[in-house]
Amino acid sequence: MSAPAHAKAQGPKSPVDILKAAIDEEKQKRSNYIHDSRSARNRLAYKLADKQAISQLSEISKSHTKNIGFLRKKKEQLEFRIATEAFTLEAEKDLIRKKNEVEREFGQALKSYRLRKKLEFIEGDIIELNKRIDEAEARIKVSGKRLDELYSNLRSLTGETKRKSKPGGKQQHREEHNKQEISFADIAIMKEKKDEKKEDTEFDESVLN
């Protein structure tokens, strides 16, 4: 049997089947949004921890922050003098000591600068992750409302079909089975929403701690 003939033999989908397909599609979308939100929240937790650690290091090294360009130039000048000028042994030792001090200050200033730049990048990542979380949460809410509407339409449709079917017939049995499936699906959706609220609470508490 050819593909078109086979499709024709199956006949058009019933309104109940169409609604169920729409529900499955919306549930998959909602699952993807939840995954995006959780992924962004996990990354945000790491970024917040990095920010706290680097902020403390940056605070410690703040006293070493000086003009990097000035220190580099001073270091090069001392190195040039030591390499090209003639000094007594004591004078040369004094210049080498000064060069070593400038090199130490230069290294500390460079480290402080790099910490501040890294902190800026992390703060930018935190802003972007918060935007991603807000967008995902908004989509989850919209999808949840859409699912509520689809389930409501399905309950109305199956209830109307049940009233039209004969008592004790096969159609009535099928609709009762559909109603039971809908009830289980509603329970699953309510449980998912409850678990999401619980996870949000646990995440907030872990960040605060």
Could you state, in order of their start, the residue ranges of all structural domains in the chain? 14-208
Between CA 117 and CA 10 the distance in angstroms is 64
Residue 199 has pLDDT above 80, yes or no: no
Each residue of 78-114: pLDDT tens digit?
Answer: 888 888 887 788 888 888 888 899 888 888 888 888 8
Each residue of 138-155: pLDDT tens digit?
Answer: 999 999 999 999 999 999
| The CATH classification of domain 14-208, taken from the options 1.10.40, 3.40.50, 1.10.287, 2.40.50 | 1.10.287
Q: What is the mean pLDDT of residues 110-129?
A: 91
Tokens matching residue 139: 């989509």
Residue type, 93: K
Tokens matching residue 180: 């039971």
Q: What is the mean pLDDT of the chain?
A: 77
Asked if 22 and 150 count as a contact pair (C-beta separation under 8 A), the reply is yes
Length of the chain in terms of residues written:
209
Tokens matching residue 197: 């609220």
Contacts 24+ apart (CB under 8 A), 1-10: none
Query: Of residues 52 and 204, which shows the higher confidence score?
Result: 52
What are the backbone dihedrals phi and psi of residue 99, each rounded to the nearest 5 degrees, phi first? -60, -40
Between CA 108 and CA 84 the distance in angstroms is 27
pTM of the model: 0.59
Q: What is the mean pLDDT of residues 187-206?
A: 53
Q: Give residue 162's pLDDT band: very low, low, confident or very high (50, 70, 90).
A: low
Residue 133 has pLDDT above 60, yes or no: yes
